[in-house]
Structure 1
Amino acid sequence: MEISLMMYTRNNFNCAEPLFEQSNSLNINFNVSKKTVWLIHGYRPTGSAPVWLQNFLRVLLNQDDVNVIVVDWNRGATTLLYNRAVRNTRKVAVSLSRYIRNLLDHGASLHNFHFIGMSLGAHISGFVGKIFQGQLGRITGLDPAGPKFSGKSPNDRLAYTDAKFVDVIHSDANGLGIKEPVGHIDFYPNGGKTQPGCPKSILSGIQYIKCDHQRAVYLFMASLETKCNFVSFPCPSYEDFKAGSCVDCDYNKGKSCPRLGK
Structure 2
Amino acid sequence: MTATCSKFGSGGINSLQEGVRSRKKVASSCAVRKSVTQKEPDTSNVFNTSSCLEKPYRCPHPRIKFYLYTKRTQQNPELIDVLDRESLYNTHWNPKHPVKIVIHGFGGGRNLSPSPDMRKAYFIRGNYNIIIVDYGSAVTEPCLSQIEWAPRFGSLCVSQLVKYIANHPRGVPPDSLHLIGYSVGAHIAGLVANYLTPDEGKLGRITGLDPTIFFYAGTNNSRDLDPSDAHFVDIIHTGAGILGQWSAGGHADFYVNGGTSQPGCASSTIFQTLACDHTKVTPYFIESINSEKGFWAGPCTTLVSYLLGWCEPKDSEYVLMGEHVSHRARGVYYVTTNAKPPYARGFPGKNRRTGKNSEYSGVRRK
**TM-score exceeds 0.5:** yes
Moved more, 158-167 or 52-61: 52-61
The equivalent residue for 2:289 is 224
Runs of 4+ in 1 over 6 A off after TM superposition: 150-154
The equivalent residue for 1:12 is 73
Q: Which has the larger radius of gyration?
A: 2
Take 1:109 and 1:215, find their aligned partners in 2: how far apart are those partners? 32
TM-score normalised by the chain length of structure 1: 0.88
Q: CA deviation at 1:77?
A: 2.7
The equivalent residue for 1:61 is 123
One-letter identity of the residue aligned with 1:116: I
Q: CA deviation at 1:216?
A: 0.8
One-letter identity of the residue aligned with 1:237: T
Work out whether 1:130 is the aligned partner of 2:197: no
Q: CA deviation at 1:244?
A: 3.0
Work out whether 1:116 is the aligned partner of 2:183: no
Take 1:80 and 1:259, find their aligned partners in 2: how far apart are those partners? 33
The equivalent residue for 2:96 is 33
Per-residue Cα deviation, 1:160-196 (whole angstroms, up to 9, x for no partner): 1100000000000021100000000000010001100
Contact 2:78 2:91 in 1 (8 A): no
Q: CA deviation at 1:84?
A: 2.1
Contact 1:150 1:178 in 2 (8 A): no
Contact 1:43 1:82 in 2 (8 A): no
Q: Which one has a larger percent helix, Structure 1 or Structure 2?
A: 1
Moved more, 118-127 or 150-159: 150-159
Q: What is the alpha-carbon root mean square deviation over aligned residues?
A: 2.5
Contact 2:110 2:132 in 1 (8 A): no
Q: CA deviation at 1:101?
A: 1.3
One-letter identity of the residue aligned with 1:199: A
Kindly report which structure 2 residues correspond to 1:119-158, keeping only aligned pairs within 5 A, or say none.
119-132=183-196, 135-149=202-216, 155-158=222-225
Give the unaligned 5+ runs of structure 1.
none
One-letter identity of the residue aligned with 1:231: W
Work out whether 1:215 is the aligned partner of 2:280: yes
SS of corresponding position for 1:181? coil
One-letter identity of the residue aligned with 2:183: S
Q: CA deviation at 1:114?
A: 0.3
Per-residue Cα deviation, 1:231-262 (whole angstroms, up to 9, x for no partner): 111113221113333222243xxxx1111102
Take 2:220 and 2:142, find their aligned partners in 1: how far apart are those partners? 26
Q: Residues 245, 83 of structure 1: CA spacing in aligned structure 2 closer, same or farther, 3 A cutoff? A: farther
The equivalent residue for 1:233 is 298
SS of corresponding position for 1:213? helix
Contact 1:7 1:17 in 2 (8 A): yes
Work out whether 1:51 is the aligned partner of 2:113: yes
Kindly report which structure 2 residues correspond to 1:71-220, keeping only aligned pairs within 5 A, or say none.
71-79=133-141, 81-106=143-168, 107-132=171-196, 135-149=202-216, 155-202=222-269, 207-220=272-285
Q: Residues 20, 168 of structure 1: CA spacing in aligned structure 2 closer, same or farther, 3 A cutoff? A: same
Moved more, 167-176 or 236-245: 236-245
Among the aligned pairs, what percent are the same residue? Answer: 31
SS of corresponding position for 1:148? helix
Q: Residues 111, 152 of structure 1: CA spacing in aligned structure 2 closer, same or farther, 3 A cutoff? A: farther
TM-score normalised by the chain length of structure 2: 0.64
Q: CA deviation at 1:53?
A: 1.9
The equivalent residue for 1:258 is 319
